[in-house]
Amino acid sequence: MERAEHLAERLGLPIRDRRLLGQALTHASWLHEHPGEAAGHNERLEFLGDAVINLVVSDALYARHPDDDEGLLSARRAVIVSAAGLARLAERIDLGSFVALGEGEAPPDGGHRPVLLASTFEALAGAILLDLGWEAARAWLAALAAPELDAATPPDDLKSPKSRLQEFAQQHLGTRPEYRVVEAAGPDHEKVFRVEVEVGHETLGMGVGSSRRQAETAAAAEAIAVLEARSAAAETAAGSSR
C-alpha cells in the first residue's frame, strides 16, 4: 500500500481506493511470489485501461485535429497508444518506480522496460476510471498526453519505420525489405531479439528489442537512416557536378 500512497501523491488526484491503485501496480510475477498480499494482479485492469485510453485519445484527436481524415487520425492515435507511446506517458509520472515485480522480472531495471511500463499504465488508467469515474479519467489522460495530442506531426512522420522502409525500398529500388532473426536469447520473460533487415540483398540495419516486432522496427529505422543518407549524398554529388 505504500507504493499506492506515494503514487497517489504524485498524481495529485483524489484517489479514494488505495487498494485498487495498489492492484494496478502489482505485476503477476509479484503476486505469484507473495500470494494473498494484494487484491490481485493488474491484468484485468490492463484490459479495461486499454479501452479507456483508446477512447480518450480518439475523442481528443477528433476534437483537436478537425481537418484530419480517418486515416490520419488513426495514424496519430497509433503513435500515442503504442507500447512506446504509453511508456513515454508512464515515464512522465515515473510509474516504473512504483511497480511491484517478482524477483525474476525486477533486474535489471525491470520496472522501466517499455512493454511493462505500457501495460502498467493501462492498468492505472483502468483503476482511475473505476475509482473516480469517466470524466476524471478523461481529464487526467488528456492533460498528461497533451503534447502528443496537440502535435501537428506531418503525415509521413506518423508512419512506422517498417512502413516507411517498405515504401522507400519499393519506390527507389523496386524491392521489399526482408527481416531475419539472428538471435533470440534469454528466458521467456526476458527474451532479447536481434534482427537484421536486408534491402536488395544488402544488410542495411540491425535492431534489438524485447519482441521480434520491436527489433524489426529498430532495424527498419536504422536502414531508413542509411538509405536517406545515401540519397542525400547522391543529391549533393549531383548538384556539385552541374
For residue range 187-238, list pLDDT tens digits in order: 776 788 999 999 988 999 998 888 888 889 888 888 888 887 877 777 777 7
Would you call the peptide bond into 66 cis, given omega within 30 degrees of 0 as the criterion? no
For residues 199 and 217, state if they share a domain: yes
Please give the order of strands across the beta sheet that includes 192-199. Answer: 178-185, 192-199, 202-209
Give whole-number Cα distances, 48 to 142, 159, 184, 205, 237, in Å: 17, 27, 32, 37, 55
For residues 229 and 126, state if they share a domain: no
Range of the domain at 236: 161-241
Q: Which of 133, 153, 173 is the last residue of a domain?
A: 153
For residues 149 and 165, state if they share a domain: no
How many helices (H) does the chain have, and how many strands (E)? 12, 3
Distance of CA 164 to the CA centre of its chain: 18
- Supply 21's cell numbers: 491503485
Total count of domains within the chain = 2
Residue where the block lists cell 516486432: 213
Q: What's residue 40's pLDDT?
A: 74
CB-based contacts of 166: which residues, under 8 Å, 6+ apart? 176, 177
For residues 193 and 130, state if they share a domain: no
Active-site residues: which are they? 50, 122
For residues 142 and 227, state if they share a domain: no
For the question of whether the overall pTM of this predicted structure is more than 0.85, the answer is no
For residues 146 and 194, state if they share a domain: no
Which of these, 123, 137, 132, lies nearest to 90 by C-alpha position?
A: 123
For residues 168 and 124, state if they share a domain: no
Regions in the chain scoring below 50 on pLDDT: 107-108, 110
Q: What is the CATH number of the domain that holds 102?
A: 1.10.1520.10
Q: What is the CATH number of the domain that holds 212?
A: 3.30.160.20
Contact 220, 234 (CB under 8 A): no
Q: What's residue 50's pLDDT?
A: 95
